[in-house]
Amino acid sequence: ETGVTQTPRHLVMGMTNKKSLKCEQHLGHNAMYWYKQSAKKPLELMFVYSLEERVENNSVPSRFSPECPNSSHLFLHLHTLQPEDSALYLCASSQERSELAGGREQFFGPGTRLTVL
Amino acid sequence: GQNIDQPTEMTATEGAIVQINCTYQTSGFNGLFWYQQHAGEAPTFLSYNVLDGLEEKGRFSSFLSRSKGYSYLLLKELQMKDSASYLCAVIDSNYQLIWGAGTKLIIKP
């Protein structure tokens, strides 16, 4: 399998549930990202990992917990979410975070459509 | 604050030309990306501009003016499959990508 994959594609959960989103990249990249995409809003960067170390956390609530066990896998653990957390969660990867400035693009997965009831 | 502005929605006719504008105000500038995102799918890379001028790639072209904080994406010979959202993103001085909300382009026969 090639590119960036995400599972599940759709997830419905209650506010008291605990679930995890999974992302896998088969591109040999060193940087991975979690984004939140809500309707008619800009992509919101949640977490950035570079060589498995978290380098950025854009003030995301603690009910979202990332995990990067190796450079190919990224998880987003969810617990006690709120209805306003319903959104499309996108995972992306790039060769190096700094190389974005050289025009090396991010590759995105298809996303997980999350609905919190 | 940092800001990227794009029109929310545009409509164009199959076979025509459309220009999608993007204006930005960011702390520093290290390049600008355009991505295409079909409904329910991943965003995919279209273009990257870091110097002023026009970059042409087939039916798609992207223009940048750093002094004006302005870019546009030009789509020629529109096809129905071009119906999608088009996202503008700027790399700031901290190598952070600042995203616009995207422009939904509707193509009519």
Q: Which residues pair with B63 in a beta bridge?
A: B54, B72
- List of chain B residues whose C-beta atoms are within 8 Å of the C-beta of residue A111: 42
pLDDT, one tens digit for every residue, chain A (117 residues): 569 999 999 999 988 889 999 999 999 999 999 999 998 899 999 999 988 888 877 789 999 999 999 989 999 999 999 999 999 999 999 988 766 667 788 999 999 999 999
Q: Are A3 and A107 in contact (CB under 8 A)?
A: yes
Q: Chains A, B: CB contacts under 8 A, how many? A: 50
The rounded radius of gyration (Å) of the Cα atoms in chain B is 13
Closest residue in B to A55 (Cα–Cα): B96
Q: How far apart are CA B61 and CA B63, in angstroms?
A: 7
Nearest to A100 among B42, B91, B100 (CB): B91
Residues 6+ apart with CB under 8 A from B5: B22, B23, B24, B100
Closest residue in B to A108 (Cα–Cα): B42
Alpha helix segments (H runs only) across chain B: none
Q: How far apart are CA A29 and CA A93, in angstroms?
A: 6
Give the tens place of pLDDT for each residue, B51-106: 999 999 999 999 999 999 999 999 999 999 999 999 999 998 888 889 999 999 99
Helix, strand, coil share of chain B (percent; to 5): 5, 55, 40
How close B56 gets to chain A, by Cα (Å)?
15
